[in-house]
Structure 1
């Protein structure tokens, strides 16, 4: 007998297992886990359940442990199932009877009675989650005094940010889509609508891009026909921003599939750029550029609002490896800027090794970021850099964590 909602729970269990046992990202795990789940609502539910379980994992585990005589192993299937059951009840407000009906079948042939007993005990106790998710110990140690503010920004999944092809239409699109605009060329919407179904998508009037992710390209200003190199350009939001701002864009990325997706988005938006498939550590340009934008590969810990898997996958080894790559890319990128031109470096990371520690190695002349270039309530550091985190602009819906710095040659 088919149980409504069960395919979504099975897919969510696969997603959780892929992240916590195999160290995959949610995006990497999505295709195999969601295979066969056809309904959009079920696919969205699977992602939401897995995402909330990862966002609140420490607190959910504490509840589970409070209701068991013996601590379940971290990767035990009953613990995995209970994480999803509790996330459905406490975060997605699924009635307990529906949680039991769709959660216990995940343990077919296994300890259903244990899971039923633990969940029922917690329901009878009327347990709740804290106002703010508890971060893993290793994350608290890395982020230090910033951890509390970041955690506060994780309590609610983020809204949907759009970057407009024509900033002059900001007020028009905010009204048409029922959103708000925090600066020209930006519209923020509530979560829950399929992007492809929104007005303006097919016409290429906008693309999805977190507010913080849109700032590095904005800091280069209007192109006026000048040349810019967008290094490590996928998924392409910054390339489209630069092209829309009048730059002649060369967009370089190593991935053929990512470049194909970029070309599709450029075609949809009616924008153009020269796409180059190459390894940035091996490639050499024919000449320097008026500007270079390096949004470097990173741990992406700043995207923990929408990708809570990074809270559990990333450790010192990944940080060190990527910091080494960033240093090599920065060393090359600053050589490719024309005299008088600009270099912007960015990472969507909350790790100092991927931001501040990289910026101090650049030999070009600092060009401090100015307050008037930023959305209201954001300010640059004393060094003229920008450091954002999910705790900022919380009353307006927040933004991802980024480090951004700018120099002039």
Structure 2
């Protein structure tokens, strides 16, 4: 059926199914789901429809349930299609006639009539979404009093954050790019433009990195030629920061494929680092380090603004699995420090089990974090939430110790 825009909607339906039924991440599911979609614009549209559906899923379901006599099963295809239809109408400003033309062919028979009827009913009611997405119950329970502020930050996709190779040029680049800077070495831009087309990309003047993701490396300060291990380094933003700050960097990660982006960015920026492909649980260094930065694998719930699939995929099992791995990595990282060396541990997770609970187990001497513009916790740790700062930032936990 040759209907313009239909392949993108069919791909969005496959993406949604991959996340909600199979527990895949949006990134994992993208390749297979978008194989039949031609053109960057349609591929981006499929991803945007799915992301907005996941961001507002609880509220979309509430609207659907308000317009049906019997509650549709959670995994019913008409519910999935209606979710996509409403996300396009209420979040992407797609005209209703275009939504109907590209969504109903995904269904046949009675389900098609049902979806058409429910959508038309909600359209006539002039249905609206709340100001902020409703968090899934288990997520709201985990995040407690932080939940409302985090939910408010989820209402819109995040802006684009850049980290500058030379923080001394912050004012110059903010003006040149028409952006704003929230801290030296950072520029924030509106989202939407292709990265490769932004001024300074080809010259390696900056790289894409969320504001919060850039904080752990900032804590280590100037390297002055000292040796640092960036453990679990891919995709490499922290390696670039450390190299730009004068550290002699060893960047280690288990994934050669994920390290490829780091190699490309090192070439583009002219920065230097030793890149090592190895399993951190088995690898042994030839000599100790002055500092180790462990940005550990985690559930990544702190990236929910950009990856709303984490709201629906992550539960106690995933959190426990990540916490076990983090504890093992922390133990090894602590053993690779020279006397007086500094360990910085970070996760882009909002879960206590991956942040505060891990930090409490470390037996090294605590080194309170003092980062201008960012308040530390009473324990001397750093905790960011998506609702912080204008435009938000990823949720991170960062702890620091001395050997």
Match of 2:196 in 1: 196
Distance of 2:173 and 2:38 partners within structure 1: 31
Distance of 2:128 and 2:168 partners within structure 1: 45
1:3: how far off?
A: 2.6
1:20: how far off?
A: 0.5
Moved more, 285-294 or 197-206: 197-206
Show structure 2 runs of 5+ residues with no match: none
1:172: how far off?
A: 1.7
SS of 1:219's equivalent in the other structure is: helix
Match of 2:383 in 1: 387
Distance of 1:5 and 1:379 partners within structure 2: 47
Match of 1:169 in 2: 169
2:68 paired with 1:68? yes
2:40 paired with 1:40? yes
Show structure 1 runs of 5+ residues with no match: none
Match of 1:182 in 2: 182
Q: Deviations over 1:52-91 (max 9, x none)?
A: 0000000000111111112111111111111111000001
Where do residues 4-153 of structure 1 align in structure 2 (5 Å cutoff)? 4-108=4-108, 111-153=111-153
2:237 paired with 1:237? yes
Q: Deviations over 1:189-245 (max 9, x none)?
A: 111111122122222111111000000001000111100000000111101111111
Where do residues 306-317 of structure 1 align in structure 2 (5 Å cutoff)? 306-317=306-317
Distance of 1:408 and 1:365 partners within structure 2: 5
Inter-CA distance 291–110: structure 2 relative to 1 (3 Å threshold):
farther
After TM superposition, the score normalised by the length of structure 2 is 0.98
Where do residues 355-366 of structure 1 align in structure 2 (5 Å cutoff)? 355-366=355-366
Q: Deviations over 1:132-184 (max 9, x none)?
A: 11111111111112111111111111101011111112112212221111111
Q: Deviations over 1:329-388 (max 9, x none)?
A: 101111111112211000000000000001111111111112xx24x3x31101110111
Distance of 1:165 and 1:385 partners within structure 2: 26
1:16: how far off?
A: 0.6
1:260: how far off?
A: 2.1
Q: RMSD of aligned C-alpha atoms?
A: 1.2
Distance of 1:224 and 1:319 partners within structure 2: 37
Would you identify which runs of 4 or more consecutive aligned residues in structure 1 move more than 4 Å? none
Where do residues 369-388 of structure 1 align in structure 2 (5 Å cutoff)? 369-370=369-370, 373-374=371-372, 376=373, 378-388=374-384
Distance of 1:280 and 1:291 partners within structure 2: 16
Distance of 1:229 and 1:237 partners within structure 2: 14
Work out the number of aligned pairs and report it. Answer: 403
SS of 1:48's equivalent in the other structure is: helix
1:38: how far off?
A: 2.9
After TM superposition, the score normalised by the length of structure 1 is 0.96
